[in-house]
């Protein structure tokens, strides 16, 4: 390798991220006929630089230039080297995957500096040994956002393999990622928040999320929420099933984070309680009232919601509160209407289960 670096022109076989000199190869992009100076130090530095890539699920890696992250990765290299030397059967060439595991652990709230390996389990067994398991991008970014207090941070997203992929420079809005986790902890507790982290960002995947132009709260959308948002489906709340309950809470938190207004959480609960009380208010017309409420809940249209609400206002004990709801919906930005009405549906499911 050293002889080739000294003797040959730099290409993908000796310099990480460089193109193939074969113009027909899949990694031959960005070739120029300009004789750009490339020193042997540049070739060696390409190996060091690629070692800072943070691998996440989906086959992509992220390069950050934030000093605290780079120092954390450098510290993790020493531990990774120790594992490679003493752990028989450990698959090699997984430095980027290791980096993702290490950052998620290093920036977690249970990391102990004097005992850095406590609670750290980055490996999985395979037929011929062991390998480092790839962490989800949400695990890594939520850990980073917990520790790095910057508002936003730029990262370079890419993949180097048989075909090189350049996604580009992507802004990571750490405040939005951090706020989502903090909201979950505030409303549903730390224990549930830990179990929910892997559910965020599952609607699209990392590559598609990057195509939005930035990684913030929109990219954290959990899988399965669309049918409740777009179709107006009323969810079912199962308080006894922990997995379903945590998933249910994840939907609520993401909607609240998108609304960026915690006051709407309490307001949506009050509306849900009012509608539930209305349904139970007359046993003789219970089914009629239930159908009326379903019409209110199943829409994402401001006009339909207000029209259907108007039909039941005369039978609401607290008419002023019902009128205030109408004013709230009427004054709400149009983009927020589907989110807020979905939040009401989820709270209605909780109220009906109590």
| CB neighbour class for 133 (10 Å; exposed up to 12, middle 13-18, buried from 19) | middle
Tell me the three state secondary structure of residue 124: strand
CA distance 221 to 225: 8
**pLDDT tops 60 at residue 28:** no
Residue tagged 């209110």 (tokens): 296
Instruction: Give the pLDDT score at 209.
Output: 94
Per-residue pLDDT band for 8 (boundaries 50, 70, 90) equals low
Which pair of tokens denotes residue 285? 């017309």
Model pTM score: 0.88
Beta bridge pairs of residue 155: 64, 170
Instruction: Report pLDDT for 6.
Output: 65
Q: What is the pLDDT of residues 267-301, one digit of tens each?
A: 999 999 999 999 988 777 788 999 999 999 999 99
β pairing state of 153-159 and 165-172: antiparallel
> Is the distance from CB of 201 to CB of 241 less than 8 angstroms?
no
Q: What is the pLDDT of residue 225?
A: 95
Which of these, 258, 193, 203, lies nearest to 225 by C-alpha position?
203
Q: For residues 40 and 196, what is the distance between their CA atoms, to the nearest angstrom?
A: 47
């Amino acid at each position: 390798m050293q002889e080739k670096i000294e003797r040959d022109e730099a290409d993908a076989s000796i310099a990480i991220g460089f193109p193939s000199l074969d113009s027909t190869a899949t990694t031959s992009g960005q070739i120029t006929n300009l004789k750009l100076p490339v020193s042997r130090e540049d070739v060696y530095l390409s190996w060091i630089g690629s070692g800072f890539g943070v691998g996440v699920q989906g086959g992509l890696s992220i390069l950050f230039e934030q000093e605290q992250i780079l120092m954390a990765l450098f510290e993790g290299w020493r531990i990774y080297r120790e594992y490679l030397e003493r752990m028989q059967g450990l698959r090699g060439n997984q430095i980027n995957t290791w980096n993702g595991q290490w950052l998620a652990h290093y920036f977690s709230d249970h990391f102990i500096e004097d005992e850095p390996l406590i609670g750290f389990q980055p490996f999985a067994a395979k037929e011929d040994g062991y390998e480092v398991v790839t962490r989800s991008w949400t695990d890594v970014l939520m850990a980073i956002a917990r520790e790095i207090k910057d508002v936003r941070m730029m990262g370079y997203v890419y993949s180097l393999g048989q075909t090189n992929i350049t996604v580009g420079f992507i802004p990571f809005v750490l405040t939005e990622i951090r706020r989502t986790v903090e909201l979950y902890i505030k409303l549903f507790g730390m224990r549930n928040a830990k179990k929910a982290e892997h559910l965020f960002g599952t609607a699209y995947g990392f590559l598609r999320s990057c195509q939005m132009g930035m990684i913030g709260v929109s990219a954290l959308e959990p899988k399965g929420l669309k049918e409740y948002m777009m179709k107006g489906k009323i969810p079912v709340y199962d308080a006894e099933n922990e997995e379903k309950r945590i998933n249910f809470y994840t939907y609520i938190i993401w909607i609240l984070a998108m609304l960026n207004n915690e006051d709407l959480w309490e307001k949506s609960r009050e509306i849900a309680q009012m509608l539930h009380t209305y349904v139970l208010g007359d046993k003789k017309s219970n089914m009629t009232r239930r159908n009326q409420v379903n019409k209110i809940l199943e829409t994402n249209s401001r006009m339909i919601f207000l029209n259907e609400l108007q039909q039941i206002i005369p039978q609401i004990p607290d008419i002023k509160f019902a009128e205030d709801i109408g004013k709230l919906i009427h004054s709400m930005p149009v983009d927020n209407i589907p989110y807020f009405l979905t939040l009401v549906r989820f709270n209605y499911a909780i109220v009906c289960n109590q």
